[in-house]
Structure 1
Amino acid sequence: MTWEEWEQIKSDVSTRHAAEMQLNQLAPSGGGGGSAPDLASSPAKKKAAAEAINRDLEPGVTRGGKHATESVNVAVKEFGARDGHGWDTSGALKKAHAMWEKQVKTLLDRLATEKGLLSTTAVDFRNNDVDIATQLARQSRIDRY
Structure 2
Amino acid sequence: MSHVDMRLNSTDGGVAGPVAPGGSGSFGSTPAEKKAAANTIETELEPNTKKAAEHADEATNSAITGFDGWATAAGLKKVSDTWDAQVKNLMGRLSSEKTALRGASGLFVNNDVGLGNQFRPIGTQSKLNGL
- Normalised by the length of structure 2, the TM-score is 0.69
Partners of 1:60 and 1:40 in 2: CA distance: 27
RMSD, aligned α-carbons: 2.0
Equivalent in the alignment of 1:68: 56
Partners of 1:40 and 1:87 in 2: CA distance: 53
| Alignment partner of 1:46 is 2:34 | yes
| Alignment partner of 1:59 is 2:47 | yes
Partners of 2:100 and 2:62 in 1: CA distance: 38
- Moved runs in structure 1, 4+ residues, more than 6 A? none
The one-letter code sitting in structure 1 at the alignment partner of 2:35 is: K
The one-letter code sitting in structure 1 at the alignment partner of 2:32 is: A
Match of 2:66 among 69, 73, 78: 78
- Structure with higher helix content: 1
Q: Deviations 1:11-62 (Å, cap 9, x if unpaired)?
A: xxxxxxxxxxxxxxxxxxxxxxx8xxxx851122111111111111111100
Matched position secondary structure for 1:89: helix
Give ranges in structure 1 of 5+ residues lacking alignment: 1-33, 81-85
Shift of 1:126: 0.9
The one-letter code sitting in structure 2 at the alignment partner of 1:71 is: A
Match of 2:111 among 125, 128, 135: 128
Partners of 1:118 and 1:40 in 2: CA distance: 12
State the structure with more CA Rg: 2
Equivalent in the alignment of 2:13: none
Matched position secondary structure for 2:60: helix
Equivalent in the alignment of 1:89: 72
Q: Deviations 1:101-137 (Å, cap 9, x if unpaired)?
A: 1110111111111111111211110111122223334
How many percent of aligned residue pairs carry the same amino acid? 40
CA contact (8 A) 1:40 1:46 kept: no
Count how many residue pairs are aligned between Structure 1 and Structure 2. 102
Give ranges in structure 2 of 5+ residues lacking alignment: 1-21
Equivalent in the alignment of 2:98: 115
Partners of 1:54 and 1:100 in 2: CA distance: 21
Equivalent in the alignment of 2:125: 143
Partners of 2:71 and 2:28 in 1: CA distance: 48
The one-letter code sitting in structure 2 at the alignment partner of 1:99 is: T
Q: Deviations 1:72-91 (Å, cap 9, x if unpaired)?
A: 100110111xxxxx211111
